[in-house]
Amino acid sequence: MQQLQAKRIVVGITGGIAAYKSIELIRLLRKNNAEVRVVVTHAATEFVTPLTLQAISGNAVSQSLLDPQAELAMGHIELAKWAQAVVIAPASADFLARLTVGMANDLLSTLCLATKAPILIAPAMNQQMFAQTITQQNLAALSARGMAFIGPNSGEQACGDIGVGRMSEPQEIYEALSKLFDQQQDLTYLSVAITAGPTREAIDPVRYISNHSSGKMGFAIAQAFVERGAKVTLITGPVNLITPPNVKRINVISAEEMHQQALQCAIEHQIFIGCAAVADYRVAEVAQQKIKKSGDEISLKLIKNPDIIADVGHLTANRPFTVGFAAETEHIEKYAQDKLQRKKLDMICANDVSGGQVFGQEQNRLHLFWSQGNKRLPLTNKNDLAKQLVNEIITRFKSTP
């Protein structure tokens, strides 16, 4: 890879056992001819020494907010202007919290506030710390501000726990950093609305009907479009996913809420993609109080929800190029082609969800159908699949009269 040749990169290291991996990351950057400056927090020096980092990076390591050796004794401003990218690996829970609220009480946090360069964050912490609601809120807030994330991975941790929290491997971080300099910005003229995730249809104040959709495919599509410069609005049901940077997110719960937002957004965007797993039915009368258990059976009257993608497809004014999804367990091609025609779609993406596959998984495959043809996209991870899908959508969009 040559994306990072001669690029000026600041590597920020915070306190955590994963700091030892940062040495390999710096080595990879230097091997590929990037210029590297290292900034450490005080806690980071308990895990890796400045002398080691200096030897690997080829530059003095910065630690102090007011470094007398720095230009005008303001190291944060000097480094902020010098950097073409900042990567923080590892990023501890403490550092993420301080960055979220805009604190500038050390060199690294101040640098992040002062730079215009893109920031890539590689979180690393105990799995329970990562799962905490406040940590997830901090991640979401930073993502909404345009900061990029890589990881964390799942596996055994230094403390003996097993779960999500391990810092991504140096090669993964290197590749993610490369993408910051290699993003195509060819779709800046385009606006896209996407629905994602499940909907929840209330039964009473504590129960609801839903499905297994994780929202990962819809979020991956949003990221693939925004990476190429498109303006993206993501209408999502309840999911535990970080919003891709620069994506406008609208949270909804029920199918009716998603329908309202989708119809409004559809006429304001050039492309509409219905990737959400919308509940087909809802309870006719939602109980105002928790339904108490009595007897061996209970009957619920269900009524049909609005068909969001069909309503968008049948718009007569300001109709966007409309792409639907068909999650089927049998007769996939037949059902997908029927929906393509009946709902007046420009394209439909069919996938086989029999046996519980796809939902919540990292991989997927799609069979695309449009009026004049079809194409199979083979099994791969959802991020790569989303990029392939975007290419196909753009091809069909440009050929539409």
378 annotated binding-site participant: no
280 annotated binding-site participant: yes
d(CA 238, CA 399): 35
d(CA 401, CA 392): 16
Is 397 strand, coil or helix? helix
Catalytic-role residue among 112, 159, 265, 349: 159
338 annotated binding-site participant: no
Active site (annotated) includes residue 159:
yes
Q: What is the DSSP letter of 239?
A: -
290 annotated binding-site participant: yes
Looking from the CA of 125 toward its CB, the CA atoms found within 13 Å total: 19
Strands 373-381 and 148-149, by their bridges, are unpaired
For residue 305, give every residue at least 6 positions away whose Cβ sits within 8 Å of its Cβ, in sequence order, or none: 199, 201, 255, 256, 259, 278, 279, 280, 281, 282
21 annotated binding-site participant: no
274 annotated binding-site participant: yes
d(CA 134, CA 97): 9
Q: What is the DSSP letter of 326?
A: E
Nearest to 140 by CA among 247, 212, 228, 66: 247
276 annotated binding-site participant: yes
d(CA 194, CA 12): 34
Three-state secondary structure readout of 287-320: CCCCCCCCCCCCCCCEEECCCHHHHHHCCCCCCC
For residue 357, give every residue at least 6 positions away whose Cβ sits within 8 Å of its Cβ, in sequence order, or none: none
384 annotated binding-site participant: no
Structure tokens belonging to residue 232? 């993206």
d(CA 322, CA 218): 15
275 annotated binding-site participant: yes
307 annotated binding-site participant: yes
349 annotated binding-site participant: no
Nearest to 253 by CA among 200, 194, 195: 200
d(CA 75, CA 93): 24
Q: Binding site for CTP: which residues? A: 274-276, 280, 290, 306-309, 325, 339, 343
Tell me the binding residues. 274-276, 280, 290, 306-309, 325, 339, 343
Catalytic residues: 159
